[in-house]
């Protein structure tokens, strides 16, 4: 399906949802949006994403994991629901729910697999999530994959901890204050400016998918952040702006618009559902120096701006479907943004199934017509970037390499200078 046709269909779907389901709960809004996106995606696996957990101990059997999941599944009842997308999108309980379909093993495989390589012929009539275990030379890996209509990354992490964790998660409790159009006022000017931005060049991509991962010391980013006052995510985005310039140049403009998901979760939200918002950020392009890039990114992805978007999305996606639908279409307008950069920070050590987690990698999904989806994750003393790109786009391996190179360039520019100044 041509990109223009696809996004016209998506726009009609979201607008129809806004008209017919104005009283639907917030999860239904995001579930509907992602379900319709999945229907239009060229590959059904494109709408799935996940997390990969690495362990150094022996790989448990699928039966051991199934027993743990069965004992705790009642804590997450929505995981027994399947997605039914007809005239409207619904969740209904799977009368034939079988844990064996959701906990499986994979043969040993070097490196990280994409969602498409794992899912294969996933039964669409089953609840859209699963756990896969695979041994490797240094231990084993646990993949958790889920349809984006069901969860976001924060929900995915909490789900794995609830089902398999060795620690007790605190009970969720909180109050929500749904509001409609007035809640958009803090970001109204941003949304209007986004509409006037220069269009991006839409490209048609092939059906193939390639995934690539790069890992580096988290200290490389925290050193830069500590010296400059930036956040770790701003350092990452600054490096990404340089990497994207080398990967897919845009000589016709000085800015590259990207979509940045923001966590809109409140303490009282169920673990299994989406609580996600979106923020557009204009990354620097062209001949900007590493220092200039970081300055621009610190404004585009400023703490206050991100927190403002988070508050707005937390409010408008809790019963204000019309406002949320309008904002979502404005921020994710395909004629203005064709790339998504997401992130997840796992700040506390994880223990699952009686073993310490030694590494966490995020697996991206791929919005239709996007040149790539990049997912940044931090855990322990490591930072990981995983990129999924369609056939016809430049190799994601090159993008991850450029990202690592750009981080080292930033480090050389900022850290030595700060040391010399303080001497």
Task: Report pLDDT digits (tens) over 166-215.
Answer: 987 654 544 444 444 445 555 554 655 554 444 555 567 888 999 999 99
Task: Report pLDDT digits (tens) over 149-169.
Answer: 999 999 999 999 999 999 876
> Which domains does the chain carry?
3-164 (3.30.559.10), 181-356+368-422 (3.30.559.30)
Neighbours of 45 (CB within 10 A): 21
pTM, to two decimals: 0.86
Nearest Cα to Cα of residue 33 among 325, 373, 343: 325
Residue 360 has pLDDT above 80, yes or no: yes
Exposed, middle or buried by CB within 10 Å (0-12, 13-18, 19+), for 168? exposed
Nearest Cα to Cα of residue 44 among 131, 121, 130: 121
Best mean pLDDT range from 223-227, 272-276, 280-284, 287-291: 223-227
Please state the rounded mean pLDDT for residues 346-366. Answer: 96
Please state the rounded mean pLDDT for residues 353-358. Answer: 98
User: Percentage of the chain with pLDDT > 90?
Assistant: 52
Please state the rounded mean pLDDT for residues 210-238. Answer: 97
Q: C-alpha angle with apex 115: 50 to 306, nearest 5 degrees?
A: 40
| Residue that has been written with the tokens 């994403």 in this structure | 49
Is pLDDT larger for residue 74 or for residue 278? 74
Task: Report pLDDT digits (tens) over 107-120.
Answer: 998 889 999 999 97
Half-sphere exposure at residue 131, Cβ-oriented, CA atoms within 13 angstroms: 29
| Residue that has been written with the tokens 């949006």 in this structure | 33
pLDDT at 197: 47
**Residue 370, C-beta contacts closer than 8 angstroms, at least 6 positions apart:** 338, 339, 340, 390
Residue 71 CA, distance from chain mean position: 29
């Amino acid at each position: 399906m041509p990109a223009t046709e696809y996004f016209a269909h998506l726009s009609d779907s979201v607008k129809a949802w806004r008209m017919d389901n104005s009283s639907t709960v917030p999860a239904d809004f995001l579930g509907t949006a992602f379900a319709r996106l999945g229907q239009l995606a060229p590959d059904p696996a494109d709408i799935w994403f996940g997390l990969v957990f690495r362990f150094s101990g022996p790989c448990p059997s699928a039966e051991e994991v199934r027993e743990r999941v069965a004992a705790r599944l009642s804590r997450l009842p929505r995981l027994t629901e399947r997605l039914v997308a007809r005239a409207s999108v619904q969740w209904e309980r799977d009368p034939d729910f079988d844990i064996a379909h959701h906990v499986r093993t994979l043969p040993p495989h070097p490196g990280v697999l994409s969602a498409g390589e794992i899912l294969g012929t996933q039964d669409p009539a089953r609840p859209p999530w699963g756990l896969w275990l695979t041994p490797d030379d240094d231990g084993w890996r646990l993949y958790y994959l889920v349809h984006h209509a069901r969860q976001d990354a924060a929900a995915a992490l909490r789900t794995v901890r609830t089902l398999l964790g060795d620690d007790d998660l605190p009970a969720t409790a909180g109050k929500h204050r749904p509001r409609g159009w007035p809640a958009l006022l803090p970001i109204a000017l941003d949304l209007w400016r986004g509409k006037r931005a220069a269009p991006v060049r839409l490209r048609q991509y092939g059906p193939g998918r390639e995934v690539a991962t790069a890992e580096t010391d988290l200290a490389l980013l925290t050193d830069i952040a500590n010296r400059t006052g930036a956040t770790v995510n701003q350092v990452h985005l600054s490096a990404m702006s340089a990497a994207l310039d080398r990967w897919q140049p845009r000589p016709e403009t000085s800015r590259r618009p990207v979509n940045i998901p923001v966590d809109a979760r409140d303490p009282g939200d169920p673990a299994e559902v989406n609580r996600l918002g979106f923020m557009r950020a204009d990354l620097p392009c062209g001949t900007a120096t590493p220092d200039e890039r970081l300055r621009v990114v610190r404004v585009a992805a400023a703490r206050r701006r991100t927190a403002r978007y988070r508050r707005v999305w937390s409010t408008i996606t809790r019963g204000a479907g019309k406002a949320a639908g309008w904002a979502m279409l404005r921020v994710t307008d395909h004629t203005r943004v064709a790339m998504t950069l997401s992130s997840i920070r796992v700040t506390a050590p994880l223990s699952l199934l009686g073993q310490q987690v030694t590494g966490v990698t995020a697996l991206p999904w791929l919005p239709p017509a996007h040149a790539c989806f990049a997912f940044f994750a931090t855990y322990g003393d490591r930072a990981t970037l995983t990129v999924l790109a369609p056939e016809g786009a430049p190799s994601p391996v090159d993008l991850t390499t450029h990202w690592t190179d750009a981080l080292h360039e930033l480090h050389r520019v900022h850290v030595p200078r700060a040391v010399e100044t303080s001497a």
